[in-house]
């Protein structure tokens, strides 16, 4: 019983609840405190992140510009191509670096062997074959692709006209061939004989070059192209021989002063000093019946047989049988087709008789033949009669210019790069070394295109034809599209032969002199590590000798001294190559640079069959390193001209040079005892210098403003991207999804961009001069531009509809279009771009300012009153040509004052243009 009670007591105890102590109820945490806490954490995190991003933003902005800069530049200059690409766009130093890695000696050598191992005289089947070769190069490297139909257009047809006039509307690369139809000639038969008193032949010259298998191509083709003068007068003549040294004006004047009667004589002159056509012109004007021109070893410096050097092909001295072919057109009167001065040579063009070609026959002869003839007039010579025959076939001949286009973002600013392709025989130096270098430039540009590079400006690459006859291909194209060139072309870069010796030489309009030199200083020396291409301007050949002609040495030294006076080391362009029509007719800033011979270099057999591939590989440029250096130089110039925001045209240097030109004129006036007042002209030049200095400040300000905007936008873009990436990392840490940063640098919808870019483009177009009121390019109805006009009009209407559509969309609720937020400051960029375009327009017009529609007295085709080929030089430049020749040739104070006033008015007008 007791046990039972105890058991019940235990159960009762277990059932009694344990006493609970008094505990305060739990406190609930308020939601707003959690929000504040999170805000503080995020604020601290993002403050740190924002400050860190800003610390990195400058370097980051540079990286953003590297990645997106090309795309943004295309947008601000109104190009819509960028919208098709959301990848890195190559530009700037990286583009230059990639380009410079492409040209190489193996490829340049292969190109030289392709062009320089067969004859390709202008208008010949071989010439057309090289045109197709170059077209294929352009199609392959520029990504044009060969179509089913050969793009071969007859000049003057709608297809040809639209191909060039439509360049500003191209959206992808293009290439084609234009065929012009100039009057040229080919040789039929020729002879050169010595006659006795009865008229019987006592000796006959072997006029063809003699070659053997030592030089394979020379041995094969020594008689493929007869030795004759292009555009020479057909006919025959008999007369006594008279020696006229270089055939310069002063040489003929000296003969007249000595009482030598040139009427009915056959004049013999040596090559050098002036253009060969002017040697014939001088003889013709003094009554000579014919003219012979020979190559004299005295002009070869120290590399002569007399100094112990073997003649080519067994050594570096002149082959005594070599003959220099070449045109005898009167180049300083006008270049191009003699029968279509000032207008293009279409197949059905109206022809004139031509006033820039000789009326007496001529022949080029070798040193071997000249030695034999000169004995006739030396002391003790018999001075027998000379009989000359030069029969030629004058006819209309087709020539083929090949053109390729790389469209840029700025459609209406064009950089043209040109090299002629035709040769008198094979032309390993002239022009095939240049063609080989241009081949490498095209390859380099093709590599850039394959890496998604688009130039800021459009680039045109031209392979001109018939340069050797008298700059015909380039001149006819320039006359054909003169208005288009005046409106669009901002610069022309020329290359003739790229290598004939050891010294690098460069010429340019003064406004491009500093630009040219800077490019040469950025290219490595071809053979000397640690030096630059510009250092090669001091290089010399290594073939020395004790004997050298005093007159030749004096001429060489004088030319070098004149070059040094400029201060830049860059010469002035006169004529003699394809830049002529650009500089002299349209006033386009132009430049060229190449390796030429010194008095200690292996003898370059100019226009001879010995201008061959073997000579180039053995003596001219073993290893082809100079070919590559010139290619890099030309390509670098092209890229910088095409991609620079502000055109690298130095108007102030040019304006300063004008005063130096005037000082030369004043000195000439004193020498000739002419009393001419140049004070007004000097005052006008100094006002131009002041205006140009102001333009320099405007250039700097305009470019700085645009670059500052780009850098600011790039920095903001970088910060936004970094913040977005870090925020995404944080969200992913908490298991949240986050879309990657893919706004492409715009933050705007396609419609917004289309409208904004259209506005920017129209703003840019407004500052382009020379357009019609409706904004379309001027066209000529008779050549059938209707298809191009219709296409342009359609694109215009589509653009307006896109703008209207965008305005309509803005009537919607903007919350549904959050991507319409303006993250790209278009208004500021449009203003900056407009300023840039205005500045570039002034820079382009600077060279145009020296063009006078009335031209130069007695040779009105030449319109540039700043510089032109000398009337009796042909190649060499004469500064202030009309004014200078009024003093030196006319010796007329009244005419000099008239020319000074004409030049003064041009300078004053130009000052007003660049100050506007």
Instruction: Give, as one character, the DSSP assignment of residue 912.
Output: H
Alpha carbon 900 to its chain's center: 32
Evaluated on CA atoms 41, 42, 45, 50, the torsion sign reads negative
Instruction: Give, as one character, the DSSP assignment of residue 814.
Output: G
Determine contact, residues 609/222, Cβ cutoff 8 Å: yes
Reported as type and span, the H/E element at residue 2 is: helix 2-15
Q: How far apart are the first and last CA of the chain?
A: 130
Alpha carbon 149 to its chain's center: 29
Evaluated on CA atoms 59, 63, 64, 65, the torsion sign reads positive
The SS3 call for residue 346 is: coil
Name 180's bridge partners.
Answer: 399
Reported as type and span, the H/E element at residue 293 is: strand 290-294
Q: CA 862, CA 334: separation in Å to the nearest integer?
A: 7
- Residue 746 CB-half CA count within 13 A: 23
Q: CA 151, CA 402: separation in Å to the nearest integer?
A: 10
Which tokens is 450 given? Answer: 């394959």
Q: What is the DSSP string of 705-769?
A: HHHHHHHHHHHHHHHHHHHHHHHHHHHHHTT--------TTT-S-HHHHHHHHHHHHHHHHHT--
Q: CA 808, CA 788: separation in Å to the nearest integer?
A: 30
Would you tell me how many other CB atoms lie within 10 Å of the CB of residue 835?
Answer: 18
Packing angle between helix 651-671 and helix 893-915, nearest 10 degrees? 170
Q: What burial letters (b/e) apply to 373-398, b meaning 16+ CB within 10 Å?
A: beebbeeeeeebbbbbbbebebebbb
Provide the residue count of the chain: 916
Instruction: Give, as one character, the DSSP assignment of residue 619.
Output: I
Q: Which distant-in-sequence residues (6+ apart) come within 8 Å of 823 by Cβ? A: 716, 743, 746, 747, 748
Evaluated on CA atoms 873, 879, 882, 886, the torsion sign reads negative
Catalytic-labelled residue, pool 467, 613, 885, 897: 467
Determine contact, residues 122/185, Cβ cutoff 8 Å: no
Which tokens is 296 given? Answer: 């004299």
Q: What is the dihedral of CA 759, 761, 765, 766, to 10 degrees?
A: 20
Would you tell me how many other CB atoms lie within 10 Å of the CB of residue 746?
Answer: 22
Cα–Cα nearest to 500, from 428, 556, 429, 421: 429
Alpha helices in 596-650 (DSSP H): 613-615, 625-643
Cα dist. 202→38, 189, 383, 385 in Å?
115, 20, 13, 10
Q: Which distant-in-sequence residues (6+ apart) come within 8 Å of 419 by Cβ? A: 431, 434, 435, 437, 438, 462, 463, 464, 494, 495, 496, 578
Determine contact, residues 441/451, Cβ cutoff 8 Å: no
Instruction: Give, as one character, the DSSP assignment of residue 332.
Output: T
Concerning whether 487 is annotated as a catalytic residue, the answer is no
Name 174's bridge partners.
Answer: 405
Residues carrying an active site annotation: 467
């Amino acid at each position: 019983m007791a046990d039972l009670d105890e058991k019940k007591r235990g159960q009762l105890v277990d059932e009694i609840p344990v006493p609970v102590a008094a505990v305060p109820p739990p406190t609930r945490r308020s939601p707003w405190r959690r929000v504040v806490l999170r805000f503080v954490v995020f604020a601290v995190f993002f403050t740190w992140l924002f400050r860190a991003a800003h610390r990195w933003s400058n370097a980051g902005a540079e990286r953003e510009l590297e990645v997106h800069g090309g795309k943004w530049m295309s947008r601000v200059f109104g190009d819509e191509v960028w919208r098709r690409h959301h990848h890195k766009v190559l530009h700037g130093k990286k583009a230059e670096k990639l380009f410079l890695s492409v040209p190489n000696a193996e490829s340049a050598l292969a190109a030289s062997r392709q062009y320089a191992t067969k004859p390709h005289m202008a208008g010949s089947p071989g010439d057309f074959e090289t045109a197709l070769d170059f077209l294929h190069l352009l199609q392959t490297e520029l990504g044009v692709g060969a179509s089913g139909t050969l793009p071969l257009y007859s000049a003057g047809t709608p297809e040809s006209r639209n191909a060039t006039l439509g360049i500003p509307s191209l959206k992808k690369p293009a290439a084609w061939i234009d065929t012009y139809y100039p009057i040229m000639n080919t040789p039929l038969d020729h002879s050169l004989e010595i006659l006795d008193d009865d008229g019987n032949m006592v000796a006959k010259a072997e006029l063809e070059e003699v070659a053997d298998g030592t030089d394979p191509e020379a041995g094969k083709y020594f008689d493929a192209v007869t030795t004759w003068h292009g555009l020479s007068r057909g006919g025959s003549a008999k007369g006594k021989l008279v020696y006229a040294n270089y055939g310069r004006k002063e040489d003929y004047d000296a003969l007249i002063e000595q009482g030598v009667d040139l009427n009915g004589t056959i004049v013999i002159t040596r090559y050098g000093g002036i253009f060969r056509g002017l040697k014939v012109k001088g003889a013709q004007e003094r009554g000579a019946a014919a003219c012979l021109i020979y190559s004299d070893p005295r002009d070869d410096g120290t590399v002569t047989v007399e100094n112990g050097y073997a003649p080519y092909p067994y050594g570096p001295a002149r082959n005594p049988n070599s003959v220099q072919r070449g045109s005898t057109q009167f180049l300083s009167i006008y270049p191009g087709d003699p029968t279509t001065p000032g207008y293009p040579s279409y197949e059905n063009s109206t022809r004139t008789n031509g006033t820039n070609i000789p009326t007496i026959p001529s022949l080029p002869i070798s040193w071997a033949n000249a030695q034999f003839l000169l004995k006739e007039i030396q002391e003790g010579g018999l001075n027998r009669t000379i009989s000359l025959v030069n029969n030629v076939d004058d006819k209309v001949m087709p020539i083929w210019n090949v053109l390729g286009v790389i469209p840029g973002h700025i459609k209406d600013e064009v950089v043209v790069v040109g090299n002629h392709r035709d040769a008198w025989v094979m032309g390993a130096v002239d022009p095939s070394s240049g063609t080989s270098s241009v081949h490498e430039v095209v390859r380099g540009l093709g590599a850039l295109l394959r890496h998604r590079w688009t130039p800021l400006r459009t680039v045109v690459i031209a392979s001109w034809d018939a340069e050797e006859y008298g700059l015909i291909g380039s001149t006819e194209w320039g006359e054909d599209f003169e208005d288009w060139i005046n409106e669009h072309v901002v610069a022309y870069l020329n290359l003739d032969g790229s290598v004939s010796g050891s010294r690098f030489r460069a010429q340019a309009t003064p406004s491009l002199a500093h630009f040219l030199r800077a490019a040469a200083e950025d290219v490595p020396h071809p053979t000397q590590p640690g030096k630059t291409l510009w250092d090669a301007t001091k290089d010399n050949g290594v073939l020395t000798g004790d004997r050298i002609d005093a007159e030749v040495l004096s001429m060489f030294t004088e030319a070098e001294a004149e070059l040094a006076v400029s201060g830049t080391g860059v010469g002035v362009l006169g004529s003699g190559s394809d830049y002529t029509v650009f500089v002299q007719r349209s006033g386009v800033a132009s430049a060229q640079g190449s390796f030429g011979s010194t008095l200690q270099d292996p003898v370059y057999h100019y226009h001879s069959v010995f201008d061959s591939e073997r000579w180039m590989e053995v003596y001219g440029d073993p290893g082809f390193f100079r070919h590559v250096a010139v290619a890099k130089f030309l390509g670098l110039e092209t890229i910088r001209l095409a991609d620079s925001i502000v055109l690298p045209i130095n108007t102030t240097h040019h304006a300063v040079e004008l005063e130096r030109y005037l000082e030369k004129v004043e000195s000439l006036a004193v020498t000739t005892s002419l009393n001419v007042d140049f004070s007004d002209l000097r005052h006008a030049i100094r006002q131009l210098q002041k205006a140009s200095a102001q333009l320099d400040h405007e250039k700097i300000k305009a470019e700085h403003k645009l670059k500052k905007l780009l850098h600011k936008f790039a920095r903001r873009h970088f910060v936004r991207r970094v913040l977005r990436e870090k925020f995404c990392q944080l969200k992913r840490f908490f298991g949240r999804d986050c879309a990657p940063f893919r706004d492409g640098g715009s933050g705007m919808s396609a419609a917004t961009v289309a409208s904004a870019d259209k506005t920017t483009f129209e703003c840019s177009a407004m500052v382009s001069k020379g357009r019609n009121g409706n904004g379309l390019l001027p066209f000529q109805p008779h050549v059938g531009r209707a298809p191009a006009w219709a296409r342009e009009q359609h694109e215009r209407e589509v653009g307006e509809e896109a703008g209207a559509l965008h305005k309509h969309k803005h009537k919607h609720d903007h919350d549904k279009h959050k991507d319409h937020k303006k993250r790209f400051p278009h208004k500021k960029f449009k203003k900056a771009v407009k300023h840039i375009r205005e500045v570039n327009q002034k820079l382009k017009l600077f060279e145009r300012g020296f063009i006078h529609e009335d031209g130069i007295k007695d040779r009105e085709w030449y319109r540039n009153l700043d510089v032109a080929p000398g009337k009796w030089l042909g190649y060499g430049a004469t500064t202030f040509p009309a004014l200078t020749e009024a003093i030196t040739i006319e010796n007329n104070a009244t005419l000099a004052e008239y020319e000074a006033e004409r030049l003064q008015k041009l300078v004053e007008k130009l000052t007003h243009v660049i100050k506007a």
